[in-house]
């Protein structure tokens, strides 16, 4: 497994793989890898021949009071997980490779980037869109793999790739959960045992939303209120939002649709958790 720190190293390896007739799969990450990331790597292994993972804690997607400095960076464990997953190349660039001095070019998907997470974290999705565009151009992969857990992120990335005519197919893979139902996230490591129990209120609220939909409820507001009450009623949880949205555009809903996405965000202690579930409705 090659660990590359420069753009040229990645491009030389990709050219060699393509010369051998291999398709290229790519999994962009910020490290602190877990089974959810491994599932994305496994998807690449099923569908492609040459496999790239990037590990880069992207400073432009962190706000001034967010956790950039303390974001976990377990380099050795991350590289070992990639090695055991059968990854061919890990792109592990220093910050100055991705953002040279006086860097000034950014990518932003207007509208979508200011909703939900974007409203709470201004500038976050500009940072995400910029770094993902750069990584896709560096890797030149046939397919890139993202998790559904970051639902708004993958929606923005799919729109961005389409509108910029980037030649990489975006594949979205299901959210992986721990046995207790908590969606896997690198930030779960910040949670105390008590906070982890409180964090389960997110998945409980999503399950409740599906049950209410299954019961025939026709009011979007009623379902959103029920989700919010689960979060607000759990000690130690401060809800940011609990909403139903259009699954493709994330637009607000005034009526129940055959498919909707329930999106939740809440702060548990000092850790911000997000989760979502696509709700299927029999009308």
244 touches 260 (CB < 8 A): yes
Fold observed for domain 186-276: 3.30.1300
d(CA 121, CA 263): 16
43 touches 68 (CB < 8 A): no
pLDDT at 160: 98
263 touches 183 (CB < 8 A): no
Fold observed for domain 2-173: Rossmann fold (3.40.50)
- Kindly report the backbone phi and psi dihedral angles of residue 16, in degrees, each rounded to the nearest multiple of 5, phi listed first: -65, -45
pLDDT at 80: 98
pLDDT at 283: 63
The closest of 62, 117, 69, 71 to 274, measured between CA atoms, is 117
pLDDT at 186: 87
CATH 3.30.1300.10 segments of the chain: 186-276
d(CA 260, CA 242): 13
The closest of 174, 167, 178, 183 to 26, measured between CA atoms, is 167
Going by their DSSP bridges, the two strands 143-147 and 259-268 should be labelled as unpaired
CATH 3.40.50.620 segments of the chain: 2-173
d(CA 198, CA 218): 29
Q: Which residues contact 214 (CB under 8 A, 6 or more apart)?
A: 282
Catalytic residues: 37
Give 246-262 pLDDT, tens digit per residue: 999 999 999 999 999 99
Strand order in the sheet with 169-173: 2-4, 89-91, 50-55, 24-29, 143-147, 169-173
Going along 9-77, which residue ranges are E strands? 24-29, 50-55
- Render each residue's pLDDT in the chain as its tens digit; 283 residues: 999 999 999 999 999 999 999 999 999 999 999 999 999 999 999 999 999 999 999 999 998 888 898 888 999 999 999 999 999 999 999 999 999 999 999 999 999 999 999 999 999 999 999 999 999 999 999 999 999 999 999 999 999 999 999 999 999 999 999 999 999 998 898 899 999 999 999 999 999 999 999 999 999 999 999 999 999 999 999 999 999 999 999 999 999 999 999 999 999 999 999 999 999 887 6
pLDDT at 231: 97
């Amino acid at each position: 497994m090659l660990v590359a720190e420069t753009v040229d190293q990645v491009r030389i390896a990709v050219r060699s793989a393509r010369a051998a007739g291999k398709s290229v799969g790519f999994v962009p990450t910020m490290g602190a890898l877990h089974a959810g990331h491994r599932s994305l790597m496994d998807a690449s292994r099923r569908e492609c021949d040459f496999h790239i993972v990037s590990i880069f804690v992207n400073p432009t997607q962190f706000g001034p009071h967010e956790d950039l400095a303390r974001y976990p960076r377990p380099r050795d464990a991350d590289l070992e997980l990639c090695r055991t997953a059968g990854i061919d190349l890990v792109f592990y660039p220093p910050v100055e490779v991705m953002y040279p001095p006086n860097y000034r070019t950014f990518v932003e998907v207007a509208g979508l980037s200011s909703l939900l997470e974007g409203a709470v974290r201004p500038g976050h999705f500009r940072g995400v869109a910029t770094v993902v565009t750069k990584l896709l151009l560096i890797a030149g992969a046939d397919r890139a793999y993202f998790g559904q857990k970051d639902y708004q992120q993958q929606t923005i990335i799919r729109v961005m790739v389409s509108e910029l005519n980037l030649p990489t197919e975006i594949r979205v893979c299901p959210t992986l959960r721990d046995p207790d139902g908590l969606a896997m996230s690198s930030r779960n490591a910040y949670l105390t045992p008590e906070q982890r129990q409180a964090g389960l209120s997110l998945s409980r609220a999503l399950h409740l939303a599906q049950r209410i939909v299954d019961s025939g409820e026709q009011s979007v507001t009623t379902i959103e209120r029920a989700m919010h009450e689960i979060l607000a009623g759990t000690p130690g949880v401060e809800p940011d939002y609990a909403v139903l949205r259009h699954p493709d555009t994330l637009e607000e809903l005034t009526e129940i649709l055959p498919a909707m996405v329930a999106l939740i965000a809440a702060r548990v202690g000092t850790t911000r958790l997000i989760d979502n579930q696509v709700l299927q409705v029999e009308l």
